[in-house]
Amino acid sequence: GAGVSQSPRYKVAKRGQDVALRCDPISGHVSLFWYQQALGQGPEFLTYFQNEAQLDKSGLPSDRFFAERPEGSVSTLKIQRTQQEDSAVYLCASSLGRRENTGELFFGEGSRLTVL
């Protein structure tokens, strides 16, 4: 497809389980971002990749959150030992240029995580 694809669209986890969320960015896009969006709020930055390099992970809320993009295309956001406060929509976005000179982010539809 031509857009950013995320899977799964919905994930229900029991507290303490590990989850993995996948993002397929637009082919050729250099930058990839992960955001967390709570209900009724704007997206909050988690982490940024330029190709395979994770240049910024300042938004990851704890060491239970881990992201990778090993070949500079598909990215995975992993959350270990999930907690109820992790419940949110996780959005992936990609852009053609680097973060410092890009004009538009292309977002996926998000993965909604519910932790019981």
Partner 1 sequence: EDQVTQSPEALRLQEGESSSLNCSYTVSGLRGLFWYRQDPGKGPEFLFTLYSAGEEKEKERLKATLTKKESFLHITAPKPEDSATYLCAVQAYGQNFVFGPGTRLSVLP
Pairwise CA distance, residues 98 & 116, whole Å: 37
Q: Pick the piece of the chain touching partner 1 (CB under 8 A) from 12-20, 63-71, 76-84, 104-112.
A: 104-112
59 binds partner 1 (CB under 8 A): yes
106 binds partner 1 (CB under 8 A): yes
Amino acid at 39: L
Query: Which of residues 18 and 114 has its CB atom nearest to partner 1 in the complex?
Result: 114
Q: Closest by alpha carbon to 77, among 88, 89, 69, 85?
A: 69
99 binds partner 1 (CB under 8 A): yes
Running DSSP on this structure, what letter comes out for residue 86?
A: G
**Structure tokens given for 71:** 């070949």
Applying CB under 8 A, the residues found at the interface with partner 1 are 4, 33, 35, 40-45, 48, 56, 58-59, 91, 93, 99-100, 103-110
